[in-house]
Amino acid sequence: MERTVVRCAEGHLFSTATFPMQNLGAGRIGPGRLIRCPRCARLRSAVPADLAALSGDQIQRALRREAAEFLA
């Protein structure tokens, strides 16, 4: 399943299967979407993470930490 690695406003990395903007360029991402961060356990504004700036280990850990739900 294709998942998008995202970063919450607090800097936590996790992934979601339902992020709708994964094919857009960085200039079009905008303010992000509200997603319930599994680390914060509350809604956070999250944007797609820049995978080029992450290590493979960070990406793998984010992919194992999937957002339980997608909102807004």
Task: Give the binding site for Zn ion (CB under 5 A).
Answer: 8, 10, 12, 37, 39-40
Block residue for tokens 């903007």? 21
Burial readout 40-72 (b: 16 or more C-beta within 10 A, e: otherwise): eeebbbbbbbeeeebeeeeeeebeeeebeeeee
Task: Report the nearest approach of Zn ion to the CB of residue 42 (Å).
Answer: 8
Block residue for tokens 């280990």? 57
Task: Report the nearest approach of Zn ion to the CB of residue 64 (Å).
Answer: 15
Q: Which CB atom, from 41 or from 53, has the smaller least distance to Zn ion?
A: 41
SS3 state at 18: coil
Task: Report the nearest approach of Zn ion to the CB of residue 55 (Å).
Answer: 19
Q: Which CB atom, from 21 or from 38, has the smaller least distance to Zn ion?
A: 38
Q: Which CB atom, from 10 or from 50, has the smaller least distance to Zn ion?
A: 10
